[in-house]
Structure 1
């Protein structure tokens, strides 16, 4: 078997090759019946509007199945499997079929008694319902495949499947977009801020440093990596003998941060960068990159400047989820490079979840031989079920893959060379199904071999009769805190992970130990958990939670680490007036726990503030502004999910870390706690999160993350802008307009074009233009002033050959306008009709 280059991981390849043929999905189906490769499947929203709900059922949808084979789809004995990221109404559906929930987000249709089959050339419409609204394609079925009962181990993808566009009136019209874009002004190049993220102090000089040759870099040996970066910044075609470029570690006056630096560019003396540490020098070089002319410029000149700079927060993070859909090592390197370019210094590596365990752990091969592999199987314990459209084939590189120990060490060293810390996340006690399933398989394998150590790392109580459903609809995804083997497993994993950092020569300070979304009902009917509660004198499940994390904390401390986790790690579930309420957990406030606060949805807007005021160190990653997997807006053609809201570029830009209630309506702030001075001191940083449920290709990730990540970088590095602290509302609005104009002009005229011209391989989102019909003309604008806009008036889609927009469009017809990057890549098209 030849694995794609994206997944060249020897250990996984050897494992898959070693699976007995009887256990692999074979390229064989029931010979008398229609082949999945010759079936056509279409999904469409059946309701007249994405916002319309059928009373008692929610939105309606249909699957349209057409048989293009010469053989029939039989009346019985087959299943059509697929994934869906939201719940559906299961049971009998019209047409004598039944919709069944299999596990997690895996569903299937089965023929019910009376189904007549599907003859060659015939079409079947399958109607079903969602309990809630469907507003975009993220809730359409993913990865459908067919299984015949006669060959239950064989799953074959449907050969021709498409989710059809949701044809409704846009929730955000071109007029809406125009008015939103009008909050910024186009700026001439001379008025565009020269550096992003915004530095603390920048003084422009009167002249320029003209580069007629490559600068001569001088640096002490400990700065060899920075010297290499400095040399790489300049075009290879420049001759030698340019001005001096001096790199040094020294003292940046008035700045205590080790990441502080000064950058001086002078026509008469060249370039000098001094950092409080090598990291400071590195960030000074990133600023120098930002000041350089765009690739291809006719003149290589740098402006004279004197910059003193330091970050606002010591933690500036990006969470990369490779558990839901896997990313190969080279893709990780790409995002580390982008993080470094924009001065982000922490990659929160979401390595494990229900749907995948992505790191090789010495001594526990099942974690990757089972927990890192998704695909169809007719028996439990062989691999994980398909998820997020990964389909039936265990060789699919979205569903299957992991980093070998050597891979991970290479990632750690690559990140360290860019002054990025990598914080591994090992999800527990919930979101742990991949580990639970793997350790159960290990138990059964060793038990069959007569081993006395079979249960050494077991994570689930086989007698557990607890009834629960997780956020992803699993009922078997939690580690059991009543088992000593659970803690043996955690200790083993933590020890091996710490050893990887030691082998890489990289310091590990903390492990993120999950803690989020433990489903109500978990552990309640587990004999092992109930026995533990009796033994330890624990009154309720909340006490058992505390007991679990007390032991986890002890394991981490033994390795010299502190505990990080989602906000639930620092929360205590209690009751208030008969309703469940989360409060800061008083038990762990002095343990040094670091809480990543994600939930600021309605009712929880101030929970981060309450945790900080109680003494917990905080990383702020609120879903309403920092989740890069959320859609930009409610239009159906926008990818991403929407459970936490919609996040446009200005939503991220307007996030105020130390005043998270600032953008709430006045009545919504009533009764909410703000941050005290004590609480403010506990905000250690902010983080953008990308969960990868809908990320099936690199371009989708680029689209969702960029350019929103640039606004995250601005908020993490730069101090509060003047508009955020100005008490006068009119003055604040004027300051906001000026600052926002500077930011988006910098993106549109310099930052994103640099990525284009460097061919960095970043397919960032090119937003649709705004269009406004005013009298006898169409006004056009864009969120990124300076980007190229082209139009047509005959209803055709604009191309790079279409005329540019140079002002209002006076033509009549079907006006379509799109923006293009410097390489000719087109963004979403906006349209207005002018008869």
Structure 2
């Protein structure tokens, strides 16, 4: 729960200005020679003539806010030959977790527009900003700003004389956060920054291992038995497969180098077939057999099993560039541990193209993941064309500045004023979505579309409200047919994303007309694609307290249905949604709140399994394993709900790797390193909790049968590019793939702590060496375009030398000692570095791409 502390703007800004280095004051200061630019309005400063910098001044702790807040400032420099006038303009920007609004020093006013969109505008008495001068704008964040993701983003300028014209301020930077007063965490309990020494100590938990000691297939297979011979392929194998496996046969051909000559009558065969896999009923089970005399056989319980056998064969092939193809004799019998091995992509907060989705589906297939949870709708964007409701995409899929209502959604997450911004605006038309469905199905990946409700629905709410106003103005009698909000609703609430107008109202019959139409259209697209649809994810998370309570429409339904509380109205809502799904032969999936009921125990809030839906076959995706709810997934499973484990502290790929301010990602749940994901024990994750958890429920034998599997989740508040997806997802997704496919490693079930630690070190060493020597180099050399995170090296001074290690043992590292940035021509790290000076070290992939640089002084 957020603790909002409001301060007097004058007192706050005066204190802040006095505390700034050099005694700077709010107002103007001399600056460099102005740059003359062409304004959108004649004779005024335009966005291109403004330089804007953001600075975290210091963190502050008070008795009223012991968790801390942050003093910050915007440094605005007028590079024009014209003054920024004393009135008639507004500076807009997004701030993810909000700021304290009100008067600011220097006669400025900071206001919330809606959600995370804020603005600063002149108040009476503001002096303006002369040409070439700088204005310091001091303000306050009510929570600690630990990550730069919480800084303002996407600033733009609007003049009153042209209220529909937003001018982006492109010259905007966040100043580094390195000073002690900026990094101070007080007694908040927030984690400190990670030093190069911290990284070295963490990396030291693994040892380098020779390639021969590593499992040859990833994820780790159930059973692998090696033989004594080898199969050498001097030409393409002859692929033998029935017509039903033509897709798998085509994939098999693509595994081998293009320059390998075509195989003839004497070439080994690669035989693909569907048949019984001994000892496994999983449809995804397979056997892979390689014999020197007879070639390669892959048998799957289904075509999916055959495809996974081919992925394992890919692992056994030498890395691209090898002089010959020499395969070991072996037999693998394999099947997944969990039937649900998922990845969720949010395209609502920031849109991502069809090509990016294809790339992710290829990555999922490579590592045997089979469920693509497609988060298609959000407060900030509706991303799927729905026949009959064009406003969902003409308004709900477009973000940008507008002075008029019912035109488009407001800017969010830095999308800025331009409605053509590729991250803020965009959607998949029917043909796009059908193509994605077929692309996924060819890779044996089930697409689970998510239509968020009743919260996180602002894009739909605003689009349908605009439709209502348009049709009502035209005199149409059914203007309110799909209206989602009660226009007389006086409920007071605020979501975690600061919205007060984003909830679908269950008191309106039109809400269910809308849901029925949308879910029906989604089902129709799957039918047209020829791809089965089993479930639709119907959201359910983060409904803010207070919603619906002052809605006349909701109160009328409560009276009619004899419902005493809005919690019962929630049950009524999902009863209706469940019926809409069931009539199409679908079951409901949703976030854990779908299966939860809030109550109190000894006056303390507590979540319990909602008894209303336990026999409905709902599938609950449990994200909340934070303080107080660590065991909630297990309690839901024990109560009879089917559960997908997606814990925020283990599986959320949008969480930053660590607490360093410039490390991308968010931190509201936790920090998630590669080993954080690897150390997750799905059916007993309380075992290695630190500190230990007491009085929490464990899984019963019945509950264990309700755990469907795992899901790695990527929400995209801070993710505007495909490169950022790669950075956050990889290589953490590999640890999730291992956990969801392979059985528990020995360390996870060992009860003796010392033995478990020894087993863990061996297993972890095997995992990271497999990544560094086989899995990631193959991605590099096959030129997949996956820009996975190359972590910074760990550094430690020892006896006048610099010790160097990396989370991926054996990865190439290079260094400089003169303070310059390393590159591919820099000295290789081959042991301790004895050079003196400012030592900078970076790791490199097989294509020469450089990771983050670590620095230490060796005097």
TM-score (norm 1): 0.95
Q: How far, CA to CA, are the matches of 1:804 and 1:299 in structure 2?
A: 29
- Residues 200-245 of structure 1, C-alpha deviations (whole Å, 9 max, x = no match): 0011222321110011111000000000000000001001124210
Q: Distance in 1 between matches of 2:176 and 2:254?
A: 45
For residues 579-632 of structure 1, the C-alpha deviation after alignment (integer angstroms, 9 at most, x for no partner) is 332210001000000000000001110000110000000000000010000000
Q: Deviations over 1:342-401 (max 9, x none)?
A: 000000000000000000001000000000000000011100000011110111110100
Do the aligned residues in 2 keep the contact of 1:219 with 1:248 (CA within 8 Å)?
yes
- Cα deviations across residues 446-478 of structure 1 (Å, max 9, x unaligned)? 111111111111000000000000010000000
Matching residue of 2:459? 434
CA distance in 2, matches of 1:818, 1:328: 31
Query: Counterpart in 2 of 1:556?
Result: 581
Deviation at 1:576, TM superposition (A): 2.5
Are the aligned partners of 2:108 and 2:126 in contact in 1 as well (CA < 8 Å)?
A: yes
Structure-2 residue corresponding to 1:638? 663
- In the superposition, relative to structure 1, how do residues 568 and 550 fare at CA in structure 2: closer, same or farther (>3 Å)? same
Which stretch shows the higher mean deviation, 354-363 or 69-78?
69-78
- Map 1:56-75 onto structure 2 (within 5 A): 58-75=69-86
Partner residue, 2:803: 779
Partner residue, 2:104? 93
Match of 2:90 in 1: 79
Query: Whole-Å Cα distance in 2 between the matches of residues 549 and 200 of structure 1?
Result: 40
Residues 1:260 and 2:285 are matched in the alignment? yes
Is 2:269 aligned against 1:269?
Answer: no
Residue from 211, 219, 232 that aligns with 1:210: 232
Aligned residue for 1:274, secondary structure, equals strand
1:174 matched residue in structure 2: 196
Of 813, 822, 828, the residue aligned with 2:837 is: 813
Residue of 762, 787, 790 corresponding to 1:738: 762
After superposing the two structures, state which structure 1 stretch, 528-537 or 233-242, moved more: 233-242
Find 1:509's aligned residue among 534, 544, 564: 534
Counterpart CA distance in 1 for 2:272 and 2:148 is 50
Distance, in Å, in 2 between the alignment partners of 1:733 and 1:578 is 40
Mapping of residues 538-557 of structure 1, within 5 Å: 538-557=563-582
2-structure distance, mates of 1:530, 1:721: 54
Give 1:250's aligned residue: 275
Task: Indicate which of 592, 599, 605 corresponds to 1:574.
Answer: 599
- Please name the residue that 1:128 is paired with: 139
Map of 2:334 onto structure 1: 309
Give the secondary-structure state (helix, strand or coil) at the position aligned to 1:204. strand
Deviation of 1:575 (Å)? 2.6
Once the two structures are TM-superposed, the CA of residue 534 in structure 1 deviates from its matched residue by 0.2
Judge conservation of contact 1:38–1:159 (CA < 8 Å) in 2.
no
1:29 and 1:148 in contact (8 A); partners too: no
1:698 aligns to 2:722 (yes or no): yes
Q: Does 1:831 align with 2:855?
A: yes
Check whether the contact 1:50–1:135 (CA below 8 A) recurs between aligned residues.
Answer: no
Counterpart in the other structure of 2:608: 583
CA separation of 1:725 and 1:574: change in aligned 2, threshold 3 A: same
Shift of 1:53: 12
> What displacement does 1:533 show?
0.2
| Whole-angstrom distance in 1 between the partners of 2:235 and 2:63 | 64
CA distance in 2, matches of 1:833, 1:245: 56
Q: Given the alignment, which residue of 684, 706, 712 partners 1:682?
A: 706
Provide the residue aligned with 1:291 in structure 2: 316
Counterpart Cα distance in 2 of 1:131 and 1:579: 25
Distance 1:51 1:510 in 2: 49
Residue 531 to residue 401, structure 1, CA distance change in 2 (3 Å): same
Match of 2:113 in 1: 102
670-679 vs 56-65, greater mean Cα deviation: 56-65
Asked whether the equivalents of residues 344 and 372 of structure 2 are also in contact (C-alpha less than 8 Å), the reply is yes
Deviations for 1:725-749, whole angstroms, at most 9, x for unmatched residues? 0111111111111111111001011
Aligned to 2:125: 114
Assess if the C-alpha contact under 8 Å between 2:62 and 2:68 holds in 1: no
Change (3 A) 1:51 1:36: farther
Segment of structure 1 superposing worse, 787-796 or 227-236: 787-796
SS at structure 2 position matched to 1:737: helix
Instruction: Kindly state the Cα deviation for residue 157 of structure 1 after the two structures are TM-superposed.
Output: 0.2
Q: Quick check: 1:51–1:135 contact (8 Å CA) kept in 2?
A: no
Shift of 1:797: 1.0
Alpha-carbon contact 1:99-1:110 (below 8 Å) kept: yes
Equivalent residue for 1:520? 545
Contact 2:60 2:71 in 1 (8 A): no
Aligned partner (choices 32, 39, 42) of residue 31 of structure 1:
42
Q: 2 CA distance for matches of 1:702 and 1:502?
A: 32
Query: What does residue 391 of structure 1 align with?
Result: 416
Q: Do 1:57 and 1:130's aligned partners in 2 also have CA atoms closer than 8 Å?
A: no
Tell me if the contact between 1:136 and 1:166 (Cα under 8 Å) persists in the aligned partners.
no
The Cα shift of 1:137 comes to 1.1
Seen in structure 2, the aligned counterparts of structure 1 residues 135 and 57 have a Cα distance that, compared at 3 Å, is closer
Q: CA deviation at 1:51?
A: 13
Q: CA deviation at 1:94?
A: 1.9
C-alpha contact 1:53 1:59 (8 A) present in aligned 2:
no
Q: What is the distance in 1 between the residues matched to 2:738 and 2:423?
A: 31
Matched, 1:369 2:391: no
Structure 2 counterpart of 1:10:
none
Q: CA deviation at 1:29?
A: 2.7
Structure-2 change in CA distance of 1:528 and 1:116 (3 Å)? same
Pair 1:672 & 2:683 matched:
no
Cα deviation 1:400-429 (Å, max 9, x = unaligned): 000000110000000000000000000000
Equivalent residue for 2:215, pick from 172, 186, 193: 193
Give the distance between the partners of 1:775 and 1:794, measured in 2 at CA. 20
Q: Which moved more, 1:165-174 or 1:251-260?
A: 165-174
Contact 2:537 2:590 (8 Å CA) reproduced: yes
Matched with 1:708 is: 732
Alpha-carbon contact 1:42-1:64 (below 8 Å) kept: yes
TM-score (norm 2): 0.93
Query: How much does 1:57 deviate?
Result: 6.6
Report whether the alignment pairs 1:629 with 2:681.
no
For residue 46 of structure 1, give the secondary structure of its aligned residue in structure 2: strand
RMSD (Å) for aligned C-alpha atoms: 1.5
Instruction: Tell me what 1:226 maps to.
Output: 248
Q: Partner of 1:11 in structure 2?
A: none
Aligned pairs for 1:421-500 (under 5 A) are: 421-500=446-525
Tell me by how many angstroms 1:255 deviates.
0.3
Shift of 1:525: 0.2
Please state whether the residue corresponding to 1:669 is helix, strand or coil.
coil
The Cα offsets for residues 706-758 of structure 1, whole Å up to 9 and x where unpaired, read as 00000010000001111100111111111111111111001011111111111
CA offsets, 1:15-67, max 9 Å, x none?
xxxxxxxxxxxx97332210111110011111179999997971111111001
1:440/1:425 Cα in 2 relative to 1: closer, same or farther (>3 Å)?
A: same
> Deviation per CA, 1:805-833, whole angstroms, max 9, x where unpaired?
00111111111110001111111111111
Distance 1:57 1:722 in 2: 43
Tell me the SS of whatever aligns to 2:476: coil
Q: Closer, same or farther in 2 for the Cα pair 1:345/1:591, shift >3 Å?
A: same
Paired residue for 2:821, among 797, 814, 829? 797
Q: What SS does the corresponding residue of 2:585 show, helix, strand or coil?
A: coil
Report the counterpart of residue 184 of structure 1 in structure 2.
206
For the pair 1:530 / 2:555, whether they are aligned, the reply is yes
- Asked if 2 retains the 8 angstrom alpha-carbon contact of 1:28 and 1:154, the reply is no
Q: Distance in 1 between matches of 2:170 and 2:399?
A: 20
Deviation of 1:679 after TM superposition, in Å, equals: 0.6
